[in-house]
Amino acid sequence: MASSLGNEKSVNPVLRISQLDALELNKALEQLVWSQFTSCFHGFKPGVLAHFEPEIKAFLWLLLWRFTVYSNNATVGQAILNIQYKNNFSQTEKYQPLSKQQKLWYLIFTVGGRWLEERCYDLFSNPRLQSFCRIKSYINLGTGLLKLCGLLNFLVFLQKGTFATLTERVLGIRSVFCKQQGARQVGFEYMNRELLWHGFAEFLIYLLPFINVQKMKVKIASWYLPVAGLSNNEATSAAHCKECSLCGEWPTMPHTIGCSHVFCYYCIKSNYLNDMYFTCPKCGSEVQSLQPLIYKIEMTELH
């Protein structure tokens, strides 16, 4: 009696945007499951999963199918959005769950098709199997035709609003709402706040490329770390050649820009390429000429 009442549920058509959102949620879930699974092997040798990656993915997607479509007639993304699959081949307009054959063919088309595509790609990328180029061309042709059919199906879906994927159209499974959807009521204050935030974010994205962050950091550092004028005697020059004025480490390939301070070649070159008006963070002198340090100092002398 209860099952008969359950089958008498009315069918509520699903909006196009809800069906597309369900597909995106399914992709996000698969990526999350795969990332969590691969994180268990971070301590192992790199590439330990590479040879069996298509099979491992197929096994994980099989588990997802078992506890979603096979058990509840809905994927995870559909369950979140209150959507279920309906057997569209049934003669009645009332809700009819998917048959076992439809569920199994759904598994073959989705999980099996993706496994076959990935495994064929690995096989034909092997240089030992170059003699099967003709078979590879046929497989590529078939894959291209399937993608073309998927594109045509998507265009029909945008027009009619049913069967978001080619698999759903072939198997005759249609997305419907489990329960009657209520009208959404969104306050104007919330909408204004969202519009204001998005406008501010777009303004920042447009403005940030015009801000020279590196120059601002160097300028602020020169205010807080001022250095008085240096004497020109040999001892003072030797003392200030011990460290790069940018990174503070022992200068690698020391260079000067015309002032009494020393820089690593890569430090000063990268900053100068980033900012043509670069100034010394110690004394504020502009780059006159980038020259190797003429004053040779041995490390033993500095100690």
pTM of the model: 0.56
Q: For 252-279, how does the pLDDT look when each residue is reduced to its tens digit (9 = 90+)?
A: 788 888 787 888 888 888 888 877 778 8
Domain range annotation of the chain: 16-181, 241-295
What is the longest distance spanned by two Cα atoms in the chain? 103
For the segment 51-69, the average pLDDT, to the nearest whole number, is 90
- Looking at mean pLDDT, say which of 1-10, 194-203, 205-214 comes out highest: 194-203
Q: For 220-252, how does the pLDDT look when each residue is reduced to its tens digit (9 = 90+)?
A: 766 665 444 444 444 445 455 677 888 877 777
Class of domain 241-295: alpha beta
Output the pLDDT for position 154. Answer: 92
CA pair distance 96, 74, nearest whole angstrom:
13
Residue (of 15, 10, 16) closest to 183 by Cα position:
15
**Residues 249/243, Cβ–Cβ less than 8 Å:** yes
For the segment 78-82, the average pLDDT, to the nearest whole number, is 87
Lowest mean pLDDT among 26-35, 50-59, 113-122, 124-133: 124-133
Q: What angle do CA 129, 130, 134 make, to 5 degrees?
A: 105
Q: For 95-142, how does the pLDDT look when each residue is reduced to its tens digit (9 = 90+)?
A: 888 899 999 999 999 998 888 888 877 666 665 655 566 777 777 788
Neighbour-count burial of 60, counting CB atoms closer than 10 A to its CB (0-12 exposed, 13-18 middle, 19+ buried): middle
